[in-house]
Amino acid sequence: MKANASQIRQLQEQVGRNDQGAFSTLYRLFFMRLFNFAKSYVHNREVAEELVNDVMVGLWNRRSEISGIQNLETYLFVAARNRSLNHLSQHSPFQVTLEPESGEIEIVHTDDPERLLEWRELYELLAQAVEELPDQCRTVFKLVKEEGFSYKQVAEILDISPRTVETQLYRAMKKLHQTVGSHLDPEKFSGPKSNSAPPSATDLGVFVPVLFIFLDLF
């Protein structure tokens, strides 16, 4: 099943108006290509199918914003790639930690439930702060920091300039620094010391985005 750009745009507008039939058409239009693409990363049919379903469900859940996506194909394929990479990270027995004094990244193999709870609390605080950002700041932040799109890709998706993407991301990061940074306890969230560790490997999908967001913030 193939569709040209104008047909895809029409389907996007219909999905934005809560048209489930249009969403089903988009799903059938992209599913097999996204499935084969994800499977090339994870090498598992069931996992690839689940990842693509997650991408499409995420699209439906954000349907109020879908009309602002100027290149839906780019958006979906990058989202599928990032979910595939996140899956591979989550199923690794290793963790990535930041040594606060040296600033060096360290790979460890350990588990600390108390530390995991602390980082989950931080993640929830960050998520709340993100939702309170202005609309364009929030959209740019999510696409860059959560979905992993490049500035150029975000510019294409939203039909804005890369400079505008950079500006909006800067504003978002500054606001998050003001909101979240004031709640941080350096002893609690600065990073691992001795045998302490950040979230377990099964929670790297939460830990890694938070880690790199705060590497940028501070």
Q: Does one domain contain both 117 and 211?
A: yes
Contacts of the segment 136-143: beta carbons below 8 A, 24+ positions apart: 136/168, 137/168, 137/169, 137/171, 137/172, 137/175, 138/172, 139/65, 139/68, 140/165, 140/168, 140/169, 140/172, 141/168, 141/169, 141/172, 141/173, 141/176
Looking at residues 28-41, what average pLDDT do you find? 88
Note the pLDDT of residue 2: 61
Q: Does one domain contain both 127 and 73?
A: no
Looking at residues 30-54, what average pLDDT do you find? 90
Q: Does one domain contain both 12 and 68?
A: yes
Q: Does one domain contain both 116 and 213?
A: yes
Note the pLDDT of residue 184: 56
Q: Does one domain contain both 147 and 190?
A: yes
How is residue 106 written in tokens?
């360290």
Instruction: Indicate the pLDDT class of residue 105, thresholds 50, 70 and 90.
Output: very low
Select from 61, 91, 121 the last residue of a domain: 91
Q: Does one domain contain both 217 and 119?
A: yes
Does residue 164 belong to any structural domain of this protein? Answer: yes
Q: Which domain holds residue 142?
A: 107-218
Buried/exposed 123-146: b ≥16 CB within 10 Å, e otherwise: bebbeebbeebeebbbbbbbbbbe
Select from 91, 119, 152 the last residue of a domain: 91
User: What single letter denotes the amino acid at residue 51?
Assistant: L
* Spatial separation of the C-alpha atoms in residues 29 and 19, rounded to whole Å: 16
For residue 11, the domain's CATH number is 1.10.1740.10
Q: Could you read off the pLDDT of 131-159 as tens digits, one per residue? A: 888 988 988 888 887 667 788 888 888 88
Q: Does one domain contain both 79 and 17?
A: yes
Looking at residues 179-201, what average pLDDT do you find? 48
Q: Which of 123, 129, 119, 74 is nearest to 95 (CA)?
A: 119
Note the pLDDT of residue 91: 66
Q: Does one domain contain both 113 and 73?
A: no
For residue 119, the domain's CATH number is 1.10.10.10
Select from 91, 120, 143 the last residue of a domain: 91
Q: Does one domain contain both 133 and 196?
A: yes
Q: Does one domain contain both 111 and 218?
A: yes
Interstrand relation of 105-108 and 95-98 (parallel, antiparallel or unpaired):
antiparallel
Q: How many domains would you assign to the chain?
A: 2
Which one has a higher pLDDT value, 98 or 132?
132
Looking at residues 86-111, what average pLDDT do you find? 56
Does residue 101 belong to any structural domain of this protein? Answer: no
Instruction: Indicate the pLDDT class of residue 11, thresholds 50, 70 and 90.
Output: very high
Looking at residues 103-112, what average pLDDT do you find? 49
Q: Does one domain contain both 66 and 145?
A: no
Q: Does one domain contain both 124 and 161?
A: yes
